[in-house]
Chains A and B, each alone.
Chain A
Amino acid sequence: MKIGTIDVKISLISLGVFVVFTILLIVASFISPSVRSNLLWLIPCLFMLLVIPLVLNYMSRRQYADLIPEYEQQAKTVRVKMINENMIGKIVRINGVVERVHFQFLNRPSYSVADRSGEISVKMFTSPDEDVKVNDIVEVLGQVIRRYIVTGEPVINCVSIRKNSAQPSTDD
């Protein structure tokens, strides 16, 4: 679903919650007359279970979309091995292969991206523009953060992950 230029996606969890409560409401309205008399406000509430995640997704994706040009300008292209605790807060770009994907169903995907120097966890707090799968060659743009905010190894808080099949060029 597209709102303006933003492609809004709803997570499977939100859809599941909506379906479960819809079934519950249908069953309850058949059993109880008091539920039927309150359908006027129960049905809008039910749809709020879809609308609220959609709005939140739209807001987060719009914010990420606004950040991308700024990150593009500031990012330094580094090897995974160069990312370390001293780089917390730095904006980086890495190129690599997706080795694992987790939590896509929550719209909070976490990727494991590797280049020939190492592997790093790439976390995204909204849904990506493209459907990224294992073995895709990607370009990741993001900020180096700690895995658990104040502690843990460095990971990338991803703002953009794009499929990229182009080979790196060699400068003279």
Chain B
Amino acid sequence: MTRSDTTSRPAESNRSLYPGALVPLLAFGSTLAGIALFNAGVQFEIQYAALGGFLASCLLAYLAWTRLHKDIVALSTPIYGFIFFVTPVDYTGGVALQLLYASGLTLLTARLYYRFGTGTPSRSLGTELETGPLQAYVESTRHVFAALDPVTGHRAAAAFLRFSEGEYRRAADLARAAACPDGTPGPVVRAFDILRQHAELLDNNRSRPVTFLMFLPDDSPLMAKPLPGSKDPDREFETQIDNALLLLYSAAWHASKTDQPLLHASQAFAMKLLTP
């Protein structure tokens, strides 16, 4: 990450909160303006004061849509906003309903930001990972993989993506073809080998063999997850493939810019691999 990227992040994060703040502003503002106009003697149906609530719900739905994980509750709010806008209602009932709806939208907006994050993944156009452990790991390995040749980077991306799609036979074939030691760093070759072995086992529905391929102790600075030790072979076996996939993800991210949008779309899977 460049210095300018780092410094601009808090400002970007603050800017991403503005549309969220607009939701309660529109919802409450419209109803309060309706009350003010009504009390000033302007005769109109109070249902139309729900226009702000409807627009606020559309904005909330848009914000929910731009998240990596979709919030179905927030996405469905315009339906109710539209019903409140077109349904005739008496003054007191209408005002109470609209204020309750505005409160609901405010809570849903807070929930959206709290549970689904402030970021809009589409803004980065697939060239920037979400801030978190995955981005930290990928950045920590930049010095090793930045000089990797783009062909190997593309092979790493292809093998990672096929594996994530459950295309294990294809992933094994790609990894076998890519695990060529000529000029490729040793950890990357080992990662391809480990991926191939796991993909073959998965493709044949076979469980952990007694002996399996592993990274070398010298590779530990590049490992995303610490090895649990040989006392728990199942856990060790699983950690090897998690590390291999994450290493190939990072290698592909740095070496193959053309694959970044696809890798970006698969970052949820990579993040999942990082969990203990």
Contacts and interface: CB of A to CB of B under 8 A. Distances in A.
Interface in A134-172: 144, 148, 151-153, 168-172
12 contacts: A77-B207, A78-B202, A81-B272, A81-B275, A82-B166, A84-B268, A87-B164, A87-B166, A118-B272, A118-B275, A144-B166, A152-B70
Interface string B142-169: 0000000000000000000100111010
Nearest to B164: A86
Contacts of B70: 148, 151-152
Contacts of A144: 166
Nearest to A172: B210
A93 B272 CA distance: 19
Contacts of B75: 151
A25 B92 CA distance: 42
B161 to A, nearest CB: 7
Contacts of B205: 75-77, 93
Interface residues of B, number: 27
A87 B266 CA distance: 11
A75 B7 CA distance: 48
A98 to B, nearest CB: 21
Interface of B: 69-70, 72, 75, 161, 164-166, 168, 202-203, 205-210, 234-235, 238, 242, 266, 268-269, 272-273, 275
**Main SS of the interface on chain B?**
helix
A86 B269 contact: yes
Interface residues of A, number: 27
A144 B269 CA distance: 14
Interface in A61-90: 75-79, 81-82, 84-87, 90
A38 interface: no
Given A81-B275, A87-B166, A76 B202 contact: yes
Given A81-B273, A84-B269, A148-B72, A170 B207 contact: yes
A113 interface: no
B72 A152 contact: yes
Given A170-B207, A172-B209, A77 B202 contact: yes
A84 B269 CA distance: 6
A32 interface: no
B50 to A, nearest CB: 27
Contacts of B207: 77, 168-171
A117 interface: yes
B275 A78 contact: no
A71 B234 CA distance: 26
A122 interface: no
B32 to A, nearest CB: 34
A79 B238 contact: yes
A122 B8 CA distance: 42
Contacts of A87: 164-166
B72 A171 contact: no
Pick the 10 closest A-B CB pairs, nearest first: A84-B269, A151-B70, A90-B166, A86-B164, A86-B165, A87-B166, A77-B205, A171-B209, A168-B207, A171-B206
A134 B10 CA distance: 45
Given A75-B205, A170-B209, A171-B210, 12 more contacts: A82-B166, A84-B164, A85-B268, A86-B266, A87-B164, A116-B235, A144-B166, A152-B72, A170-B207, A170-B208, A170-B210, A171-B207
Contacts of A153: 69
Most buried by A among B206, B210, B234, B272: B272
